[in-house]
Amino acid sequence: MSKLTPEIEKLREARRAARRRRPARAVRICTTGCRALGALEVHAAFERELAAAGLTDKVALLKTGCQGICAGAPVIGVDPEGILYLGAKPEDVPEIVRTTLVGGAVVERLCFQGRQGPIPKRVDIPFFAVQKPLVLARCGRIDPTSIESALADGSYEMLERALTGMEPEAVIAEITASGLRGRGGAGFPTGRKWSATRAAPGELKYLICNADEGDPGAFMDRAVVEGDPHAVLEGLLIAAHAIGARQGYVYVRAEYPIAIEHLKLAIAQAREHGLLGDNILGTGMAFDVKIKAGAGAFVCGEETALLASIEGKRGQPRTRPPFPAQSGLWGKPTCINNVETLANIAPILRMGGAVYAGLGTPTSKGTKIFALAGKVKYTGLVEVPIGITMNQLVNDIGGGVPAGSAFKAAQMGGPSGGCVPARYLDMPIDYETVKEVGAIMGSGGLIILDGATCMVDLARYFMDFCAKESCGKCPPCRIGTTRMLEILTRICAGEGKPEDIARLEELGGQVKKNSLCGLGQTAPNPVLTTIRHFRSEYEAHVNERRCPAAVCRRLIGFKILPEKCICCGRCAKACPVPCIAGKIGKAPARATEQDRENGKVGEPFAIQSALCIKCGACFDICPVAAIEKK
Amino acid sequence: MVRLTIDRRAIEAQPGQTIMQAAQDNGIQIPHLCHEPRLIPTGACRLCQVHVGALDRPPVLACATPVSEGIEVVTESPELAARRKLILELLLSEHRVACTTCDADGECVLQDLAYRYDAREWTYGTFPHSEPVPLNYTSENRAIEYDLEKCVRCGRCVRFCDEVQGACALTFDSRGIGARINTAYGRPLHQSDCELCGGCVRVCPTGAMREKAARGLGRRKDLTRVRTTCTYCGVGCTMELNVNPRLNRIARVTTEPGMGSNDGNLCVKGHFAFDFVNSPERLTKPLIRENGSFREAGWQEAIARASQGLAAARDQYGPEGLAFLSSARCTNEENYLMQKLARMAGKTNNVDQCATTCHAPTVAGLALSLGSGAMTNAIGEIKNVQTLFLIGANPTEAHPIVGLEMKKAMRKGARLIVCDPRDTWMARHAQIHIKHRPGTDNMLVNAMMNHILAANLHDQAFVAERCERFDALCENVKDYTVARAAEVCGVDAELIRRAAEWYAKGAPSAIFYTLGITEHTCGTENVQNLANLAMLCGQIGKESSGINPIRGQNNVQGACDMGAINTVLTGYQKVSDEAVRAKFAKAWGGALPANPGGRVTDFIEKAEAGELKAFYVLGEDPVLSEPNQAKVIESLKKLDFLVVQEIFMTETAKLADVILPATCFAEKDGTFTNTERRVQRVRKAVEPPGEARPDWRILCDMSTAMGYPMNYVGASEIFDEIAALTPSFGGISYERIDKLGLQWPCPTRDHPGTGFLHKGRFTRGKGLMHAIRHRPPAEEPDAAYPFMLSTGRTLYHYNIGNMTRKTASIAQKQNENFVELHRLDAERLGIADGGLARVSTRRGSLVIRAHVGDKVRPGGLWMPFHFVESVTNKLTNDAFDNITRTAEYKCCAARIEDAGAPRA
């Protein structure tokens, strides 16, 4: 244990200075995830308008990471009022400056629209009400490219505490007491992983942050690295202290360029502040971090494949034993933690393991970030205590399924996960319960499905993903996923055979049992859970050649209901074949005598089904829902 | 020992062994496709799942799970069978089930397992297969065919190429169902880093990787496997010739781990270079020169003519009038008969073989220093060497299987020091590469010893106890400071110091050298100096520690052991020793000659001088292999009578009066002795072509016709005679070496053979240290010939090339002579990489392709000597070692100039 060093004093002084400079009046624009929806243009507009209004010095304009409610991109926070503006365009900026920053009033049309009208303040918005942001606390508040911004918000305080007041064993004890489980998906107790690596013999140990977030729809790790990279570094440093690692890697997918950019900056800044290197904060601790950009293979999120990839080998998993804690990167003891796991470390030390363990359920402690997506009103990133119900997530936070449809199921855990049907809405979401119904917590991807989703097609989609992402090393996964995909494709095409469902179950079970790594061991989950909970949909496909959700093209037909057709002809125009014929004019039912005389009466349009390619263009364009799909 | 049960059988295993290894050691076959004993477990095929403990717990992989005390392993259960069947059916769903036409039928693991688990090929749909094989990286290659549709993606080939061979030519490409084997960037195999070792074929569990040339030549049940010893370099790999008796053809070559020192490995020559056996160019009838050309003759006439010619020279000119060149390519038995024939029928000690061309300085130098001239350690000891000291050796090309053993040591953390003027594979992978000027070895070694003595790193107890003339050594190396050596050798002084320290401190260190040391005018001195270095540091006479010449030919060790040398009889019993002569005279029924005899290089000079009149050449081609070809031809033409016993019409044979068609290694029985002194069996696998006869039979007939009757029923009888007359071979018999050879000395029937030499005591008693001065090469670069030319071997060809060059797949890899030169020199002289260059020496000139790079030093040139159409030995210098008359192939002055643009 080290004493206070001059370097720590210096860091503290830097933090105090940063806090003194922290602005009260600030506009925070998410420019990471929201960049795709014009956040940078909005930021530029703010720069212009603030200058024009002479407010440049009075209002701090911050580019932040994700603020959570992605449905409202670009998301703009205005402080100190705590106002949240959603979906603003550059042309809205003058009004915001004029009304809010100058006038002190709210632009209501850009606020969250609640049931009883606009809700200007973030704290009042139901989307945030149930959340418990520990990991995401700084995300969306600080400027992730500025270490001062992070320091002012408490970054590295827990590292200081660990280095000055806690033996490695004490850190591990605290993490063990917190009950933290790996947030990457498998849920292995972090404290146990750390003790195993600490106990492994060897001078040189590696610590790896797994930021190879590959599940379609999951983006919490990306948000953390982009929005608060120092949280990852602080977690790594504390972990390195605990397990005695000398070298760290962040394995981040190349598809996350902003994350890589922010992380690079953060590493450089941390090094400048003596937080990385041979003598960290003057305590004699040596640790450094390198970034390794992955090349886009899903399987490289699997830890042994990730190790191979860092070593410059083909990203393929290997069999265990030996476990990475004994023989990992280049044969040295290695600890691999996911981004969210590492970002939990400082909050745990801050609140104490016991308090943290008070959050969540008896077996699943703390908070979990979910990427809420799909057929829900407010999509985005939410951090909630584990054990919250699906109902709370979907309805209280997500605002429910949009009108006109109903919640059918939630797909949890991406391609490795499964579907949780509506009857489990009140199920608490924790590692064990989710597993019982056939899904997994996984990394926290949560896709809400409504009646318009065909479960067979969904299973086919995920199986296609897994078959393409299988590394090809072991036959059950390499061939098994492809054979399952073939069966699913056949069923969706209306060519299913009576024995196909049983074959999928048998094959799926064997692929799970026999595969080498987590990819293959979980790849059948979407299929098996949809069969389990939605068997009738499979049977309809196979036995009746019918897709109940009217999604599988080969099994559906479009028909124009003549009594509803208004003879507008848009369907015929949209038809790419074309196979729709009729006459534009007034609908016969509504035509007047005069129309008849003037020859302005149309003829209802009709589809020549033999030619129809079932693209659905007519269905989508029809203004009066005169086209039936079934 | 760890005790466990497998299928209720109590067994004991080594700690650290996997369940798979323990099971295999006990004859329990756990199904697998990806496991291979030489490779790191990968757990890919999932077939080796076994229960440990309760049957309802998830099974574990036998290949990756270490044994532990008391576990109960169950290898078969309904659950495991269901799992295996599923995996096999998935594999079959994409497999071209074409066992009817598959070369691997009967030795295909997939076939066997599918049968065992009743896996059907149609359960998960049949795959639309293409015919012929879909194009891939092997399509244009002549050696190996990869059939994706028979591949189970076990990755054995990729891992072998990486983990054993270190070539890293193969990789997996694509992923998921599209995963397949490929080269980097999909380059054709022969343009990739592939070394054609054939390892991918040997480890493939199905018919996915096969030799193209073996297509249709037989399946497992059509082939007879004949265990024999490779006919190429001195490593002496144990291999099995897979012979189709119906076709009298060798279909392919196989070998298995544990079968010999090569432990399942072969190089390109062992695996692929046997097409010569069946070549239409083989000699099939005796030929007699008549009116300037050859005519076919019967054996009786040919033997009569040949014996008369030899006997006439003997009778007219005495023992110096005729000479016999025995062959390191032939068996021990044949070499024994040849020297017996020379001495008893020819009545002369003028008998030699190609050791003079290569390792004679080893035999002489080590005999002087230590008392016996052979590799002191066994090949199997190499993997445990901690500091490998290579000087003038290029094992990955010239002795590839020894190279593999060194790679094993390196993987275990051994340090590698390479002293070589050229960037060999080993040099590129060495921690220390001393790229010294050719011909400065003694300067370098003396400086190392100077530094070792100065730093007090020598093994004083060892020197005091086991060596003599230490003072002379100390006195001698005083002048050889590291600074001076750095200057003369042209290398960094620090490297010399560090190499000396590492070698001295290595625990253990071992020296390996080959012809880079011996083929010098100071060759014997070079060898003696390496012996000095080993003795000084006490790095000899221990397991994995010693001085190791790696012999060049399959049986050059044996040819020397058999007394096909003018000065010694079998087992290095000195001709000059009265008692020895008496013993042999009694056994052989006649007096032995007492003339001093000479070496092959002497024979050529004496022919030139008109003193040698008749010459009997057995399986050698001095016209190609001796230096200064023009002079060799001129000399041989002066002979009255030349007999050549050969398998091909060689350049020497073209000068002969009688040519006798002989058999190659695959057509006769006998023994070869490899570089580690291991006497190993050679077995007849195919019938010889035409009227060709085994050499031992021809020698018997010849001797009989010359008046000294020889009669043996077979090779075994000859060997027993050798064993009876040779103390170091006394305990060896065909019966004892049926499976695995024995390393001499093996004096008695119950002696296990000798792994490493000089344990506790040198053969000569005390090790003799010599004061060796540095002497420059006979010819050094000057204004007219400013380059230093060295010659050597490549991986793909063997010596004069008349065997390896018969294999098309090897020709595709390397089929023409070339010269390596440094890019700075090339730039200066305007020579393009791949362009033609004229290389000239005072003796001749050749136009060949230039390989420009930085393998050689600036001012250096390097050429192979495998190409009859472009004879490198037209250029080499006929200057000889002062003791053994070995030529200085490694150094001569040369000139190089541009000779044209690259061919299109």
Contact predicate A474/A520, CB 8 Å: yes
pLDDT value, residue B904: 45
Is residue B338 domain-shared with residue B263, that is, in the same domain? no
Angle (nearest 5°) at CA B686 between B680 and B689: 120
Residue A1 has pLDDT above 60, yes or no: no
Residue A165 has pLDDT above 90, yes or no: no
Is residue B265 domain-shared with residue B161, that is, in the same domain? yes
Domain holding B819: CATH number? 2.40.40.20
Residue B132 has pLDDT above 80, yes or no: no
Is residue A204 domain-shared with residue A325, that is, in the same domain? yes
- Pairing, β A603-607 against β B60-61: unpaired
Name the average pLDDT for chain B.
94
Domain assignment present for residue B82? The answer is no
Contact predicate B583/B574, CB 8 Å: no
Residue found under tokens 């067979």: A456
Closest CA to B656 of B416, B396, B305: B305
The DSSP letter of residue A379 is -
Is residue B699 domain-shared with residue B567, that is, in the same domain? yes
State the sign of the Cα–Cα–Cα–Cα dihedral A509, A510, A516, A520.
negative
Is residue A489 domain-shared with residue A587, that is, in the same domain? no
The DSSP letter of residue A402 is P
CA distance A475 to A481: 9
Amino acid at the residue A254: A
Is residue A334 domain-shared with residue A417, that is, in the same domain? no
Angle (nearest 5°) at CA A145 between A140 and A148: 90
Spell out where B516-666 has E strands: 547-549, 614-618, 641-646, 658-661
Domain assignment present for residue A128? The answer is no
Q: Is A567 left (phi over 0), alpha (psi -120 to 50) or beta?
A: left
Three-state DSSP at B197 gives: coil
- Using CB atoms, pick whichever of B65, B86, B177 lies closest to residue A478: B177
Banded pLDDT at B902 (limits 50, 70, 90): low
Mean pLDDT, rounded, for A565-571: 93
**Total residue count of chain B as it appears in this document:** 904
CA distance B593 to B570: 15
8 Å CB contact of A469 and B176: yes
pLDDT value, residue A76: 96
B44 touches chain A (CB under 8 A): yes
Domain count, chain B: 5
A470 touches chain B (CB under 8 A): yes
Closest CA to B875 of B893, B897, B900, B848: B893
Q: Which residues from A are below 8 Å from B90, CB to CB?
A: 475-476, 479-480, 483
CA distance A408 to A422: 5
pLDDT value, residue A2: 55
Tens digit of pLDDT for each residue in B274-301?
999 999 999 999 999 999 899 999 999 9
Is residue A201 domain-shared with residue A287, that is, in the same domain? yes
Is residue B39 domain-shared with residue B175, that is, in the same domain? no
Is residue B464 domain-shared with residue B541, that is, in the same domain? yes
Domain assignment present for residue A427? The answer is yes
Q: Residue B574 forms beta bridges with which residues?
A: B568
Domain assignment present for residue A135? The answer is no
Is residue B175 domain-shared with residue B312, that is, in the same domain? no
Domain assignment present for residue A14? The answer is no
Is residue A189 domain-shared with residue A275, that is, in the same domain? yes
- Pairing, β B787-792 against β B767-768: unpaired
Collect all residues with Cβ–Cβ distance below 8 Å to B609 and sequence separation of at least 6. Answer: none
In chain A, the residue whose alpha carbon lies closest to the alpha carbon of B155 is: A473
Q: What is the ipTM of this complex?
A: 0.89
Contact predicate B601/B356, CB 8 Å: yes
**Total residue count of chain A as it appears in this document:** 630
Tens digit of pLDDT for each residue in B19-43?
999 999 999 999 999 999 999 999 9
Chosen domain end from A401, A422, A450: A450
Residue found under tokens 């806690």: A166
Is residue B186 domain-shared with residue B240, that is, in the same domain? yes
- Using CB atoms, pick whichever of B66, B87, B176 lies closest to residue A482: B176
Domain holding B10: CATH number? 3.10.20.740
Domain assignment present for residue B606? The answer is yes
Collect all residues with Cβ–Cβ distance below 8 Å to B126 and sequence separation of at least 6. Answer: B93
HEC string of B288-338 equals: EEECCEEEECCHHHHHHHHHHHHHHHHHHHCHHHEEEECCCCCCHHHHHHH
Three-state DSSP at A273 gives: coil
8 Å CB contact of B65 and A471: no
Domain assignment present for residue B760? The answer is no
Banded pLDDT at A435 (limits 50, 70, 90): confident
Is residue B263 domain-shared with residue B365, that is, in the same domain? no
Domain count, chain A: 5
Is residue B198 domain-shared with residue B246, that is, in the same domain? yes
Residue B500 has pLDDT above 50, yes or no: yes
Banded pLDDT at A363 (limits 50, 70, 90): confident
Chosen domain end from B549, B568, B587: B549
Is residue A570 domain-shared with residue A534, that is, in the same domain? no
Amino acid at the residue A298: F
Report the share of chain B in percent with pLDDT over 90. Answer: 91
Q: What six digits make up the tokens of B865?
A: 């000597």
Domain assignment present for residue A116? The answer is yes
- Using CB atoms, pick whichever of A468, A480, A486 lies closest to residue B125: A486
Domain assignment present for residue A11? The answer is no
In chain A, the residue whose alpha carbon lies closest to the alpha carbon of B168 is: A313
Q: How far is B202 from chain A (nearest CA, A)?
A: 21
Q: Which residues from B are below 8 Å from A474, CB to CB?
A: 43-46
Backbone φ and ψ of B433, nearest 5°: -115, 115
Domain assignment present for residue A548? The answer is no
Q: At what angle do helices B629-637 and B600-608 cross, to 10 degrees?
A: 60
Domain holding A486: CATH number? 1.20.1440.230
Is residue B545 domain-shared with residue B685, that is, in the same domain? no
8 Å CB contact of A321 and B178: no
Question: What burial letters (b/e) apply to A359-382, b meaning 16+ CB within 10 Å?
Answer: bbbeebbbbbbbbbbbbbbbbbbb
State the sign of the Cα–Cα–Cα–Cα dihedral B29, B35, B38, B40.
negative
Contact predicate A263/A478, CB 8 Å: no
CA distance B64 to B873: 54
Tens digit of pLDDT for each residue in A63-78?
999 999 999 999 999 9
Domain assignment present for residue B772? The answer is no
Domain assignment present for residue A316? The answer is yes
Tens digit of pLDDT for each residue in A189-198?
999 999 999 9
Contact predicate A534/A419, CB 8 Å: yes
Three-state DSSP at B898 gives: strand
Three-state DSSP at B470 gives: helix
Tens digit of pLDDT for each residue in B51-97?
999 888 999 999 999 999 999 999 999 999 999 999 999 999 999 98
Residue found under tokens 């997918």: A253
8 Å CB contact of A467 and B176: yes
Collect all residues with Cβ–Cβ distance below 8 Å to B827 and sequence separation of at least 6. Answer: none
Domain assignment present for residue B758? The answer is no
Is residue A256 domain-shared with residue A174, that is, in the same domain? yes
Domain containing A570 equals 557-629
Chosen domain end from B244, B278, B312: B278
Residue B643 has pLDDT above 90, yes or no: yes
Is residue A179 domain-shared with residue A297, that is, in the same domain? yes
Could you give the strand order of the β-sheet that contains B614-618, starting from the edge strand earlier in sequence?
B293-296, B287-290, B658-661, B641-646, B614-618, B322-325, B351-352
Domain holding A383: CATH number? 3.10.20.600
Q: Which residue has the higher pLDDT, B367 or B904?
A: B367
Is residue B268 domain-shared with residue B413, that is, in the same domain? no
CA distance A456 to B180: 30
CA distance B758 to B764: 9
Domain assignment present for residue B92? The answer is no
Contact predicate B873/B512, CB 8 Å: no
CA distance B76 to B85: 12
Domain containing B16 equals 2-76
Is residue A193 domain-shared with residue A331, that is, in the same domain? yes
How many CB atoms neighbour CB B298 within 10 A?
12
Mean pLDDT, rounded, for A254-275: 95
CA distance A404 to A398: 16
CA distance A70 to A78: 17
- Using CB atoms, pick whichever of A318, A469, A514 lies closest to residue B46: A514
pLDDT value, residue B901: 63
Is residue B451 domain-shared with residue B593, that is, in the same domain? no
Is residue A493 domain-shared with residue A407, that is, in the same domain? no
Domain assignment present for residue B820? The answer is yes
Q: What six digits make up the tokens of A159?
A: 């590292």
pLDDT value, residue B354: 87
Q: How far is B203 from chain A (nearest CA, A)?
A: 17
Is residue A221 domain-shared with residue A247, that is, in the same domain? yes
Domain holding B222: CATH number? 3.30.70.20
| Mutation site for B-interface testing, chosen from A465, A471, A474 by largest number of B Cβ within 10 Å | A474
Tens digit of pLDDT for each residue in B171-206?
999 999 999 999 989 999 999 999 999 999 999 999
Q: How far is B352 from chain A (nearest CA, A)?
A: 53
Amino acid at the residue B884: T
Chosen domain end from B256, B278, B300: B278
CA distance B798 to B807: 12
Domain assignment present for residue B577? The answer is yes
CA distance B200 to B210: 9
Chosen domain end from A519, A543, A567: A543
Residue found under tokens 């490695």: A168
| Mutation site for A-interface testing, chosen from B177, B206, B412 by largest number of A Cβ within 10 Å | B177
Helix (H) or strand (E) holding B13: strand B9-13
Is residue A407 domain-shared with residue A379, that is, in the same domain? yes
Name the average pLDDT for chain A.
93
CA distance B714 to B696: 9
